[in-house]
Amino acid sequence: MRTYLVTGGAGFIGSNYIHYMFRKYGDAIRIINVDKLTYAGNLENLKDVEDYPNYTFIRADICDAETISRIFEENDIERVVHFAAESHVDRSIKNPDVFVKTNVLGTLTMLNAAKAAWELPDGSFKPDHKFLHVSTDEVYGSLEEEGEYFYETTPYDPHSPYSASKASSDFMVKAYMDTYKFPANITNCSNNYGPYQVPEKLIPLMINNALNGKSLPVYGDGKNVRDWLYVEDHCKGIDMVQEKGRLFETYNIGGHNEKQNIEIIHIILDTLREKLPDSDPRKAHITEDLITYVTDRKGHDRRYAIAPDKIKAEVGWYPETMFAEGIKKTIEWYFDHEDWMKNVTSGDYQKYYEEMYKS
């Protein structure tokens, strides 16, 4: 039974990854989920696996070197999938210190613990032990010209405290691979969407607000472009990189689903109207009148677009879910999990929402 240590496994992508891995491998693997349970971590995401005998949850901060080292000492961990990170750009603008601590120092703590556990007396590492660092396309900066794409060779040019902290963590992993030949890979993904995403992010925010007749806040002119990746496709890519990717390599994981933010909002409104029965009173207020333009985000990158050529050629991964299908699956999931959304959007989230999106 191979043991995986997943950091940030109670978050959006992390919890989807855990679900994906249990669906694929069943009881052939064991997963240890380490999560601090900040605003983005939600154990409700993992209710259906919490009683699995091959699943363990440990509440811990990845910056706590003593606890992380003990987890490695007490378990024969063969795979690390490192999701844990502060990831919301708006929050990074408000409080960059937290992003540096978690994303840079937390990653360093994870690297040191894995290195200590896996390194052999001759300086090599235990065979078939691998560390995967999950990063973002935002480290590459912004694309201005249509037809340009981010490649693994694109120079880093981060513009927000969030992307700068992720770039720094990427460089730390690169340094360990180059200096120690530490067995790792880096993946840089485009914007994810799908089940369990908290409504600070564009797609669940617009779904939730539209269903509740609230305004749909759009930064600037709404024409910023993102490449959208359905989260299950991302999880599959991560697993394939760990099993088939060349060590020490970076792989970009993109969805080939470029959309302007305002285009996304119109698609969501159309899909909600299509899915809701005429008898549902919410359907009447789901109109374009809800769209409200607000002051643009500071340092707002104009366009992201990933070319996943390398991962397709070397690993055999490609995005399977086109946006029209993925957004329908996502909206259906939120319809089926309205209690989850109500729990997530209570309390402090509402205060944060008012602060972030006031026009």
Give me the active site residues, please.
Answer: 137-138, 162
**Helices 65-74 + 106-118 axis angle, to 10:** 30
Instruction: Map residue 160 onto helix, strand or coil.
Output: coil
Question: Tokens representing 40?
Answer: 């983005």
Which residues lie below 8 Å from residue 261, measured CB to CB, with a gap of 6+?
A: 202, 218, 219, 222, 223, 224, 225, 226
User: Which residues pair with residue 3 across a beta bridge?
Assistant: 30
- Residue 149 φ then ψ, to 5°: -140, 155
Locate 219 and state its tokens: 């930064």
Q: Tokens for 120?
A: 């052999």
User: From CA 80, how far away is CA 184, in angstroms rounded?
Assistant: 9
Nearest to 86 by CA among 45, 139, 34, 40: 40
